[in-house]
C-alpha cells in the first residue's frame, strides 16, 4: 500500500480472517495494533514501530463497551474515524478493523469473560470495577480474530500491559507483545485521547503527574520512602490535581514494593482533573 491512500476498512470478523489468512498464505508476518481510535502521536508510534518489525500492519478501532462502567465516559469517548483513517493512510497502514458493537457482541455483552484476577482489582481496577475483565475479554477476542504474529501495547497503560502479558502467557496465546514507550508532549505530559477534555488550567496542572514521577525517580536511589515523599511533595503543590493513587510496584508482580525492595520498580499515578481521569508511570531504580 502506498502512503497517503486510505486503508482498507474491514467491518466484520469474517472479512478480517479472510484478509489475514491471505497475507499469511503469502508468507507475510502480521503486526496488530488495537486502539479505541481518536489517534494521536502515541498511536502513530505504534504503527511506525510495526512497520519496522513486520510485513503487514493492521489496526483496530473499537470503543469497547465492556470496559466502561456505569457513569463512565463511554458516550463521551471521542470518535474520529475519518481523521483516524487519514492518519493511518498517511503512514501506509493497509488494513483497519472497525467493527460495530453488534459485530463484536452479536448476542449482547459476552457471557464468557476473561478474569483479570487480583491485580485487576487494584489501582485502576479499584477505581473502575470490572474494567480489566472487559479489557482482557476484548483483547482475547481481537487476538483470536486477527491472529497476528506480534501485537503492540503501550507502556503508558502499565497495569493493562502487565495484565495482557500475563493473559497471553497463562493462555498460551501464540503472539509476541511489542512494548511501545510512552510518548510525551514537550512539557512531559503523557499523550492520551482524554487530554482534549482538559481546559487550559487543567492542562497546565496535568504536568504535575509527570513532575511527580520525575521527582520519585530522582529520589529513588535513597529508597522507597524518599521516592514516595518526593512525589507527594510535587503533587501537594497543585490543587487542581485530585490524586487517586501514587504507588511504586514490582514490575514482576505489579504489587506494591516494601522498603526492602532494591532495583527496578514502576511508579504509577492516577488523578482526576475536573471530570477527566489521567494515568502515567515511569520505571525507576530503588537503591
Q: What is the pLDDT of residues 184-202, one digit of tens each?
A: 999 999 999 999 999 999 9
What pLDDT does residue 74 have?
Answer: 79
What pLDDT does residue 71 have?
Answer: 67
What pLDDT does residue 220 have?
Answer: 98
What pLDDT does residue 169 have?
Answer: 98
* pLDDT exceeds 60 at position 2: no
Model pTM greater than 0.85?
Answer: yes
Which DSSP string corresponds to the chain? --TTSPPEEE-SHHHHHHHHHHHHHTT--EEEEEE-S---HHHHHHHHHHHHH-SEEEEEE---GGG--TTSSTTTS---HHHHHHHHHHTT--EEE---HHHH-BTBS-SS----TGGGGSTHHHHSTTHHHHHHHHHHHHHHHH--SEEEEETTSHHHHHHHHHHHHHTT-S-EEEEEPPPB-TTSPBP-GGGGG--HHHHHHHHHHHHHHHHHHHHGGG-HHHHHHHHHHHHHT-TT-EEEEEEEE-TTT-SBP-TT--EEEEEEEEEEETTEEEEEEEEEEE-
What pLDDT does residue 276 have?
Answer: 94
What pLDDT does residue 77 have?
Answer: 82
pLDDT band of residue 5 (cuts 50, 70, 90) is confident
* pLDDT exceeds 80 at position 56: yes
Q: Do domains 8-180 and 193-286 have the same CATH topology?
A: no
Residue given cell 493511518 in the structure block: 88
Q: Count the neighbouring beta carbons within 10 Å of the beta carbon of residue 287.
A: 13
pLDDT band of residue 76 (cuts 50, 70, 90) is confident
Phi then psi for 219, rounded to 5 degrees? -90, -5
* pLDDT exceeds 90 at position 69: no
Mean pLDDT of 246-254: 98
CATH code 3.30.1300.10 for 193-286: yes
Phi then psi for 263, rounded to 5 degrees? 100, -150
Q: How far apart are the first and last CA of the chain?
A: 50
What pLDDT does residue 286 have?
Answer: 98
What pLDDT does residue 35 have?
Answer: 97
Q: Which three cell numbers stand for residue 104?
A: 463484536
* pLDDT exceeds 70 at position 3: no
Q: What is the pLDDT of residues 199-216, one digit of tens each?
A: 999 999 999 999 999 999
Domain-by-domain residue ranges, the chain?
Answer: 8-180, 193-286
* Of the options 1.10.490.10, 3.40.50.620, 1.10.940.10, 1.10.10.10, the CATH number for the domain spanning 8-180: 3.40.50.620
Share above pLDDT 70 across residues of the chain, in percent, rounded to a whole number: 98
pLDDT band of residue 75 (cuts 50, 70, 90) is confident
What pLDDT does residue 165 have?
Answer: 98
* pLDDT exceeds 80 at position 70: no
By annotation, the residues acting in catalysis are 43
Q: What is the pLDDT of residues 12-55, one digit of tens each?
A: 999 999 999 999 999 999 999 999 999 999 999 999 999 999 99
Give the separation between CA 287 and CA 281, rounded to whole angstroms: 19
61: nearest Cα among 30, 40, 41, 37? 37
* pLDDT exceeds 70 at position 176: yes
* pLDDT exceeds 60 at position 1: no
Amino acid at each position: 500500500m502506498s502512503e497517503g491512500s486510505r486503508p482498507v476498512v474491514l467491518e466484520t470478523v469474517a472479512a478480517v480472517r479472510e484478509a489475514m489468512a491471505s497475507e499469511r498464505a503469502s508468507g507475510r508476518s502480521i503486526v496488530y495494533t488495537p486502539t479505541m481510535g481518536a489517534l494521536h502521536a502515541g498511536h502513530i508510534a505504534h504503527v511506525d514501530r510495526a512497520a519496522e518489525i513486520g510485513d503487514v500492519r493492521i489496526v483496530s478501532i473499537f470503543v469497547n463497551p465492556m470496559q466502561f462502567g456505569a457513569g463512565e465516559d463511554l458516550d463521551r469517548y471521542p470518535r474520529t474515524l475519518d481523521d483516524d483513517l487519514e492518519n493511518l493512510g498517511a503512514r501506509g497502514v493497509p488494513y483497519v478493523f472497525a467493527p460495530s458493537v453488534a459485530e463484536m457482541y452479536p448476542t449482547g455483552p459476552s457471557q464468557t469473560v476473561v478474569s483479570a484476577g487480583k491485580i485487576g482489582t487494584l489501582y485502576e481496577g479499584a477505581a473502575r470495577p470490572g474494567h480489566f475483565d472487559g479489557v482482557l475479554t476484548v483483547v482475547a477476542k481481537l487476538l483470536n480474530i486477527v491472529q497476528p504474529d506480534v501485537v503492540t501495547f503501550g507502556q503508558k497503560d502499565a497495569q493493562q500491559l502487565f495484565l495482557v502479558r500475563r493473559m497471553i502467557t497463562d493462555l498460551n496465546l501464540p503472539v509476541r507483545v511489542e512494548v511501545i514507550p510512552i510518548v510525551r508532549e514537550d512539557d512531559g505530559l503523557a499523550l492520551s485521547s482524554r487530554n482534549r477534555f482538559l481546559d487550559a488550567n487543567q492542562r497546565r496542572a496535568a504536568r504535575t503527574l509527570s513532575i511527580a514521577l520525575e521527582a520519585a525517580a530522582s529520589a529513588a536511589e535513597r529508597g522507597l520512602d524518599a521516592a514516595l515523599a518526593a512525589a507527594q511533595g510535587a503533587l501537594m503543590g497543585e490543587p487542581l490535581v485530585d490524586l487517586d493513587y501514587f504507588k511504586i510496584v514490582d514490575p514482576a508482580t505489579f504489587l506494591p514494593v516494601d522498603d526492602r525492595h532494591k532495583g527496578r520498580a514502576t511508579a504509577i499515578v492516577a488523578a482526576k482533573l475536573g471530570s477527566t481521569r489521567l494515568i502515567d508511570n515511569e520505571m525507576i531504580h530503588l537503591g
